[in-house]
Amino acid sequence: MKVFIFALVIASAYAQSATTSKHDCLTGVFHHKGLSARGTYDAKTLLNLHDNLPSELQTKIANCKLNLAPAKARCEGAYGKDNCEQIHSAAFQTKCDALFFRVGCCHCAMACPDGYKEDDYHCIKPKTKKTKVFETRADCESGKLTCEQRGNKFTEVCGIQFKRLGVDVCIPVCPSGWHDEGKRCRKPANYRMAQPFFWEQGDN
């Protein structure tokens, strides 16, 4: 019995030491840059700013090798199994709904259409493209193209999310209902999620 109690005390001390070590590592990262992280709440507050921290600090936080299994368990306890994902080296967050794209830790914005580049709450338009011009429809369709007539010439259709300019130029346009901002389109839908589930002191 005494041996069991002694082993339990040793295990408890080791777990506490590991937790303290992780916490010291984390707070040490912030202190190195003159930031305040005196307690668990302060550290969590600073971790909430993770995406805005310099890449140097993000790397140092990752090097602390925080155990995120408890954070994942807390997240899945709230949102269900397989509904959470790790968003950085110190937190788990619920997944965005289908057809939505994560922006930072706590927002989900509608995903961009194919061919457009993600830019947080916007989509960067694809480049303007040119289509070959043919003298006859037969010549155009011989290349297995879907063709249209422009004046007395024939050319390949521009395709979805493009509009014709002149005979051979196709310029990108925003999807219906999206605000056009020139080189990019503003997404019409986004939503905010609850706070992420961070590593906490005690997650040994």
- For the chain, helix, strand, coil in percent to 5 are 35, 25, 40
What is the torsional sign of CA 175, 176, 178, 184? positive
* 1-20 per-position pLDDT tens digit: 433 333 333 333 333 344 56
**CA-to-CA distance for 57 and 26, rounded, in angstroms?**
10
Is residue 149 within 8 Å of residue 137, measured between CB atoms? Answer: yes
Q: Which pLDDT score, from 0 to 100, does residue 50 have?
A: 87
Query: In the predicted model, is pLDDT for residue 173 greater than 80?
Result: yes
Confidence grade of residue 36 (pLDDT, cut at 50, 70, 90):
low
Quote the mean pLDDT of the chain.
85
Query: In the predicted model, is pLDDT for residue 37 greater than 80?
Result: no
* Closest alpha carbon to 61 in 198, 180, 181: 198
Query: In the predicted model, is pLDDT for residue 127 greater than 80?
Result: yes
Helices (H), the chain: 2-32, 40-47, 55-63, 69-79, 137-141
Q: Which pLDDT score, from 0 to 100, does residue 34 have?
A: 58
Threshold 0.75, pTM exceeds: no
* 58-116 per-position pLDDT tens digit: 999 999 999 999 999 999 999 999 999 999 999 999 999 999 999 998 999 999 999 99
